[in-house]
């Protein structure tokens, strides 16, 4: 096939997919038909998407915080460099990128695939058709609580990730004696800007919306059987990851200027 | 009563339903039969509004649902109950919660009233003992019975069943058929069942339409279906060895 034609077809398909996404979002972002039912779903999703993600967030952040601390120590240690720089660099990496962007990339895998497979399975087992027949706005009923739950929980996960990462840095410093707790504390407090925490939280809110809405979109439009549900899960994780990376560039440029 | 007038549905220029005209009466179990790919599911989806016909009218007690606005569409859906091929129970909810779901969404009843109504529906389908179980703990027949209880929870005027006996043994199929027939008679609702189960055809077919290649080939009832002259209907009816042999023996005994 002609290369230009191929590019044109990919472009048109992307536009069509984006259009379908917008149409779905118009149905999703409507007033819930029954607030009581919305709240019930919302609390279930808070637990399923947010609370259930806390252990993995704490675990990964603890280890990555420790690894960043070791890497900083090994790579920037110099007679001319103050010892607290390791703590300073560890803090900046955790605050500015890891706990928001990288953590959300990890959550795109865990939470995104969970959302896609749940909604996709509901689609192929006709549970969504059953909702539609009853007169329920299935997109609003199923997707809005997930978006709301993840957007509410993600700042908490980011804070937990930052705290756990710093704890990991202290732990590795103590266990391996590569640096003292005083040097690390000095570095962590050096020229601290509160805005960086807000940047991290603001970015994560956008990422949470991307993860939940894009994953739900892929699940909602599944056609076929279990193979298609699996494929949709993979596609949704890939799309979420790419969109998070792209949004990260835009948001970092806007927020850090 | 549901009337179909000149219903045509195409997919990519391929005509899947071709000029369907029929009437489904109240208080009767109406069956749509035909081979796989004949257009049964598409027709049922056009009736319930999951698909929109390209041409024609679908009248629910004289109201053309294709002309309905968003609000009217929502109202008519509350008058419908549907039993899906695989029951389509919500797997995150228990049996009781599944039956209470339409009441939670659309009724203004108190919790106790909803509980009473849901339990009454479960008792009607003999599923009260399993009210706390989750759908995956149920057999196929029990799932179908729960789905029937959910479908009748809001007291629908129209009941739609898409291959209700699929995947069930003959005895369980009979129970489901009797349940559908009994509920139709009891509530005087318009029931449309999409099936290719011959036991259902001969057992509960108050009104039967036969689809072949998207066309309405024949319509009648369980009493006159065996005398039908349509070749494709006869091919369909006597496609199983059992029925063919029964027919051959009957003809032999009559000396034909």
- Rg of chain B over Cα atoms, rounded to whole angstroms, equals 19
Q: Is the pLDDT score of B252 beyond 80? A: no
pLDDT of B242 reads 66
For residue A44, which residues of chain B lie inside 8 Å, CB to CB? 92
Indicate whether B129 and B222 sit together in one domain.
no
Assigned domain for B164 exists:
yes
How many CA within 13 A on the CB side of residue A2? 4
- What tokens appear for A31 in the block? 């007033």
Indicate whether B210 and B175 sit together in one domain.
yes
Give which of B78, B84, B109, B161 to mutate to test A binding, by max A Cβ within 10 Å.
B84
- Can you give the pLDDT of all 257 residues of chain A as single tens digits? 678 888 888 899 989 999 999 999 999 999 998 999 999 999 999 999 999 999 999 999 999 999 999 998 888 877 788 888 889 999 999 999 999 899 999 999 999 999 999 999 999 999 999 998 888 999 999 999 999 999 999 999 999 999 999 999 999 989 988 888 898 899 889 888 899 999 999 999 999 999 999 999 999 999 888 899 999 999 999 999 999 999 999 999 998 87
For residue B148, which residues of chain A lie inside 8 Å, CB to CB? none
Taking CA–CA distances from A35, the nearest residue in chain B reads B105
pLDDT over 90 percentage in chain B: 35
Contact B5, B56 (CB under 8 A): yes
Among A34, A127, A133, the residue with its CB nearest the CB of B90 is A127
In sequence order, which residues have a C-beta less than 8 Å from that of residue A16 and are 6 or more positions away? none
Among B75, B86, B105, the residue with its CB nearest the CB of A126 is B86
Assigned domain for B89 exists:
no
Query: Which pTM was predicted?
Result: 0.85
Last residue of a domain, one of B155, B185, B200: B155
A227 in contact with B, Cβ within 8 Å: no
What's the CATH code of the domain at B181?
Answer: 3.40.50.300
Q: How high is the mean pLDDT of chain B? A: 87
CA distance B10 to A235: 31
Q: What is the average pLDDT across B17-21?
A: 91
Question: Chain B: nearest CA to A15, how far in angstroms?
Answer: 22
Q: What is the average pLDDT across B39-65?
A: 90
B50 with A130: Cβ contact below 8 A = no
B88 with A127: Cβ contact below 8 A = yes
CA B114 to chain centroid, in Å, comes to 25
Instruction: Classify each residue of B225-246 as buried b or exposed e, where b means 16 or more C-beta atoms within 10 Å of its C-beta.
Output: bbebeeebbeebbbeeeeeeee
Instruction: Give chain A's end-to-end CA distance (angstroms, integer).
Output: 44
Structural domain containing residue B50: 1-79+156-231
Indicate whether B5 and B64 sit together in one domain.
yes
Question: Chain A: nearest CA to B12, how far in angstroms?
Answer: 17
Indicate whether B123 and B10 sit together in one domain.
no
A245 in contact with B, Cβ within 8 Å: no
pLDDT of A5 reads 87
**Burial category of A12 from C-beta neighbours within 10 Å (exposed 0-12, middle 13-18, buried 19 and up):** exposed
pLDDT of A229 reads 93
Indicate whether B161 and B146 sit together in one domain.
no
CA distance B49 to B47: 6
pLDDT of B240 reads 66
Give which of A124, A134, A146, A223 to mutate to test B binding, by max B Cβ within 10 Å.
A134
Indicate whether B22 and B136 sit together in one domain.
no
Indicate whether B15 and B138 sit together in one domain.
no
Q: Angle CA(A198)–CA(A204)–CA(A207) in degrees, nearest 5?
A: 150
**Burial category of A250 from C-beta neighbours within 10 Å (exposed 0-12, middle 13-18, buried 19 and up):** exposed
Assigned domain for B144 exists:
yes
Assigned domain for B4 exists:
yes
Q: Is the pLDDT score of B49 beyond 90? A: no
Total count of residues recorded for chain A: 257
Q: What confidence category does residue B249 fall into, taking pLDDT thresholds of 50, 70 and 90?
A: confident
Q: Count how many domains chain B has.
A: 2
CA distance B52 to B65: 10
- Give the number of beta-carbon pairs within 8 Å between A and B: 47
Contact B74, B28 (CB under 8 A): no
Residue-by-residue DSSP string for A130-151: HHHHHT--HHHHHHHHHHHHHH
- What tokens appear for A206 in the block? 């956008």
For residue B48, which residues of chain A lie inside 8 Å, CB to CB? 133
Question: Chain B: nearest CA to A131, how far in angstroms?
Answer: 9
For residue B102, which residues of chain A lie inside 8 Å, CB to CB? 134
Q: What confidence category does residue B237 fall into, taking pLDDT thresholds of 50, 70 and 90?
A: confident
Q: Angle CA(A127)–CA(B31)–CA(B48) in degrees, nearest 5?
A: 40
Assigned domain for B213 exists:
yes
B38 in contact with A, Cβ within 8 Å: no
Looking at B25-113, which runs of residues are DSSP E strands? Answer: 29-34, 55-60, 63-64, 80-83
Residue B218, beta-bridge partner list: B210
B64 in contact with A, Cβ within 8 Å: no
A135 in contact with B, Cβ within 8 Å: yes
Q: Is the pLDDT score of B19 beyond 80? A: yes
Among A34, A36, A134, the residue with its CB nearest the CB of B77 is A134
Question: Chain B: nearest CA to A153, how far in angstroms?
Answer: 21
8-state DSSP, B16: E
Contact A218, A235 (CB under 8 A): yes
Among A44, A125, A135, the residue with its CB nearest the CB of B77 is A135
A31 in contact with B, Cβ within 8 Å: no
pLDDT tens, position by position, B74-129: 888 888 898 988 889 999 899 999 999 999 998 889 999 999 999 999 998 888 99
Q: Flag whether the ipTM exceeds 0.95.
A: no
Indicate whether B204 and B227 sit together in one domain.
yes
């Amino acid at each position: 096939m002609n290369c230009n034609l191929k590019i044109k077809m990919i472009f048109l398909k992307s536009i069509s997919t984006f259009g379908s996404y917008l149409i779905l979002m118009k149905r999703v972002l409507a007033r819930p038909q029954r607030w009581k039912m919305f709240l019930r779903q919302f609390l279930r999703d808070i637990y399923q998407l947010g609370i259930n993600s806390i252990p993995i967030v704490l675990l990964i952040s603890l280890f990555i915080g420790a690894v960043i601390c070791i890497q900083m120590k090994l790579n920037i240690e110099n007679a001319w460099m103050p010892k607290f720089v390791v703590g300073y660099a560890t803090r900046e990496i955790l605050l500015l990128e890891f706990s928001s962007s990288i953590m959300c990339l990890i959550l795109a895998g865990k939470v995104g695939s969970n959302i896609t497979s749940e909604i996709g399975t509901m689609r192929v087992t006709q549970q969504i058709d059953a909702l539609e027949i009853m007169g329920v706005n299935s997109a609003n009923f199923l997707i809005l609580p997930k978006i709301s739950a993840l957007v509410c929980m993600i700042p908490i996960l980011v804070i937990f990730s930052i705290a756990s990462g710093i704890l990991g840095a202290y732990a590795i410093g103590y266990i391996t004696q590569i640096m003292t707790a005083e040097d690390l504390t000095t570095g962590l407090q050096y020229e601290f800007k509160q805005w960086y925490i807000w940047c991290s939280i603001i970015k994560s809110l956008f990422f949470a919306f991307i993860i939940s809405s894009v994953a739900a979109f892929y699940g909602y439009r599944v056609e076929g059987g279990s193979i298609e549900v699996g494929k949709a899960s993979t596609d949704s994780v890939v799309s979420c990851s790419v969109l998070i990376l792209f949004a990260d560039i835009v948001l970092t440029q806007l927020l850090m200027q | 009563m549901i009337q179909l007038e000149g219903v045509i549905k195409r997919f990519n220029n391929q005509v899947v339903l071709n000029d369907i005209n029929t009437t489904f009466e109240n208080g009767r179990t109406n069956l749509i039969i035909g081979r796989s790919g004949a257009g049964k599911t598409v027709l049922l989806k056009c009736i319930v509004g999951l698909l929109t016909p390209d041409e024609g009218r679908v009248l629910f007690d004289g109201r053309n649902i294709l002309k309905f606005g968003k609000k009217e569409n929502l109202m008519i859906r509350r008058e419908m109950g549907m039993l899906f091929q695989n029951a389509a129970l919500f797997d995150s909810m228990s049996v009781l919660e599944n039956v209470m779901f339409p009441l939670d969404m659309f009724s203004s009843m108190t919790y106790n009233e909803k509980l009473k109504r849901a339990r009454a529906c479960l008792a009607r389908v003999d599923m009260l003992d399993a009210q706390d179980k989750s759908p995956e703990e149920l057999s196929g027949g029990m799932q179908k019975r729960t789905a029937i209880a959910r479908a009748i929870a809001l007291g629908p005027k129209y009941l739609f069943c898409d291959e209700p006996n699929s995947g069930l043994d003959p005895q369980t199929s009979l129970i489901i058929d009797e349940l559908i027939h009994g509920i139709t008679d009891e509530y005087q609702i318009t029931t449309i069942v999409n099936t290719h189960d011959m036991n259902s055809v001969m057992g509960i077919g108050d009104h039967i339409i036969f689809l072949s290649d998207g066309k309405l080939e024949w319509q009648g009832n369980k009493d006159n279906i065996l005398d039908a002259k349509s070749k494709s209907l006869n091919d369909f009816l006597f496609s199983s060895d059992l029925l063919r042999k029964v027919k051959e023996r009957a003809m032999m005994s009559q000396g034909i």
